[in-house]
Amino acid sequence: MLNKIAPPHLAESWDNAGLQVGDPGQEVSGVMVALEATEHTVESALASSCNLLVTHHPLIFKPLASISAATPQGRLIKRAFSAGLNIFSIHTSYDIAGDGLNDVLAAALGLQQLRALKPVSTQELVKLVVFVPADHLEPLRQALVPWTVQQGAYCGCSFAASGEGTFTPLEGARPFIGSIGMAERVAEQRLELLLDRSNLSRAIKALMATHPYQEPAFDIYPLLNQGRIHSLGRIGTLASPMRLAEFSAMTARTLSTQTLRYVGDPCRILRTVAICSGSGASLLRDSLRAGVDALVTGDVKYHEAREAEEQGIALVDAGHFATEIIMTDAVAGRLRQMLDLAGHTACGVEVCRMERDPFHLIPPT
């Protein structure tokens, strides 16, 4: 389920997402979602009887030469292992994924008509066509629909048409319909579904487990249709133009941050806005090329602010923490929905409410 929310193949090459600590064969009884694995979030998960902690930031980011309880990281790893707590990270894969962190941030800021800021790949689409007896159509459709791609604002799309299948079972066959050596004609349905190629093997596994035939007939067609563009960041349009000062104040309220800074004329009118959660000032020039009015991100350095000022683009530094902590509710909500649909209602999902921005603001005297 986590790999569906944040497909691993979307992660940046330098990233280290996925299972950080734990046993992939362990049964999950409770989930907590947090921005990162710290002493507080680990203890919060254990206190809530959760044995899976899902984080955005990886606990293990660079290769480790040793694991020592003399270091904060080593103590966390030791504590997690000894308590049976698994830690799983969805990092840049979730930043880039459709309906991922940047889409959550865009929705929070009221951006519409979203498009890619910096494309990194394009979704590869395939069509799966399978032939099934008419009275087994719905079970097969329900098994395959979870692997279909969302088409615009629609999900669970499929197509079925009636036809006739013919076959003759040979010696050694175990036919679901018919007898050895006898030609058969069966009323069948042709079921068509659109898939992301990365999900094809999972869909075929579901097909083989659900289809009544010993040898199901199916076809896989590569498509030239353009799939979703996977991108670092998003560009969107404001519902109505706003002054930079007004937009910045709205962003600070929405993200509940007191440390927001912005670069540019406070009275500048904004219509199109680029966003990149976390540290995205490196996308400043991509934002310039796209002709947007402002870029919202975090961790802006002095010289990046000066460059934005000189290039005439507004820059809103809402902070690394504030632009990413919103992932906790979003991921928890999707996991609850997926678990409910799969019938795993006994596995609860909680959000860690203890995390705070490490930076404090000193009010002016």
pLDDT of residue 342: 87
**CA 358 to CA 29: how far, in whole Å?**
31
pLDDT of residue 121: 85
State which CATH number among 3.40.50.261, 3.30.70.120, 3.40.50.12660, 3.40.50.720 fits the domain covering 124-222.
3.30.70.120
Ramachandran angles phi, psi of 168, nearest 5°: -130, 115
pLDDT of residue 153: 75
pLDDT of residue 245: 98
Please check the confidence at residue 361 and state whether its pLDDT lies above 90: no
Would you say the CATH fold of 109-120+231-318 matches that of 2-94+325-351? Answer: yes
pLDDT of residue 178: 87
**CA 37 to CA 20: how far, in whole Å?**
10
pLDDT of residue 360: 85
Task: Express each pLDDT in 47-62 by its tens digit.
Answer: 999 999 999 999 999 9
Domain ranges of the chain: 2-94+325-351, 109-120+231-318, 124-222
pLDDT of residue 364: 73
pLDDT of residue 123: 87
Identify the H or E element spanning 343. none
Its CATH architecture, for the domain 2-94+325-351, is 3-Layer(aba) Sandwich (3.40)
CATH 3.30.1330.10 fits 109-120+231-318, yes or no: no
Report residue 127's pLDDT band, with 50, 70 and 90 as the boundaries: very high
Task: Express each pLDDT in 191-233 by its tens digit.
Answer: 999 999 988 999 999 999 999 999 999 999 999 998 888 899 9
Least confident span in 12-16, 147-151, 206-210, 213-217: 147-151
Show the beta-strand stretches assigned E in the chain.
18-21, 30-34, 52-55, 86-89, 111-122, 125-133, 159-167, 184-196, 217-222, 229-243, 261-263, 269-279, 294-298, 314-317, 348-351
With 0.75 as the threshold, say if the pTM is over it. Answer: yes
Task: Express each pLDDT in 253-311 by its tens digit.
Answer: 999 999 999 999 999 999 999 999 999 999 999 999 999 999 999 999 999 999 999 99
pLDDT of residue 24: 94
